[in-house]
Structure 1
């Protein structure tokens, strides 16, 4: 099992290495084409005219440069796919170990760091020109019939023995289509009994990050009321977006509802895209 796992990872790394070399070669060629285009334009400005021969040369250079840029894009996308495959293989191995009863006890600090790393390395949506972000990218809602998969992170509405209800970070174990119920594990307390919850009480987390520079509509704007994972905890609470992400690696700045402050809200706190989701009214959830 371990040998197969390492072989799969090494195979992807070799593919990435090869693709990165190809990207560098194509990028150099494309740079030469752009330099040639620039020189013709500079000559045309100096002469205040452009010859018929240079017009044709420009057309050919533009066609070649565009083709090479598209080729470079495809190579980069293939490399990213290999990175995502490595992420998936590592997650599958963790899930298999968990299913076989090999539950590793994780200290609180290590768990918080792992959750942060998971959010930072969530795939970034990079669409083609005119392509819209898919469901579960940033703030884009899932399809109505969407079912979270085994191992997916979700927000689960848990009822305590005292009757209190809280949204907790959980991991999907299974889904029963007949009863429309999930089995989930509290991410913070794996040794506890699993929770059986109706689909209404489970909210999928984003599967991809949205890029604010290209897809700002896939992010919650300022003053949107959301649910967000409170820093250094595994619980979601009501919050207001104070500043949305401005760049692809930015987090949200949110204000958590908190009656202990005179303003009724906490000071601004940073929360990763993965852990900011649409607000759900507990009263309407059975």
Structure 2
């Protein structure tokens, strides 16, 4: 985002508007620095995940370092959000000054003012979209290792409803950016392993280890997908009581599942996941 096209106008404005203009430029410079910090954090996080993938496990030192990096990334994202809000607020002030100080002889009408604002917002939005794109790309580069339990969306040719099921990763196919997974539902009679199938990366969600849970937890009334008790299928559900609100506290949720006559059921926290976004 650039304010250069307004430099010619500020010489005719009051000191107040010049000050706001300078603040916007300073904030944009700071925003660039914050975004660069975020890119470096993502790079470092991915390097550690690559190392874990290579050796097959995470040492305590690596776990602690990753935890520290994730905390820094959360702080960086908060700083970026606050800076975005400040810039937007200052732009509003700047445009209000222009509107209030202009006369018809200046040749700038209200529509032109709003057009300038739209240009600024478009520029800012493009920057944010690029940032989100880089973050999404970085996340997709973190390969789920073999043996990890996942929720996998079944292919349409296997299940016309494309339900999410419990499965295990048995391989990653970089050429097609997809995983081969094995259905957790085994043939009990023959003790044969479950069926294997290929799913794209976007249709696989890693499940935390037993005893672990998402942080922060899902609050009351959140919509999630969760493993229905005594099955290997995930269904949409609503949180009735999160783990921290149970008495005594526990690593499980109390949920009501869709189309389950409002029955309340307990589900281990690591089997309660974000609603997958349709892409």
> TM-score w.r.t. structure 2 length?
0.44
> TM-score w.r.t. structure 1 length?
0.43
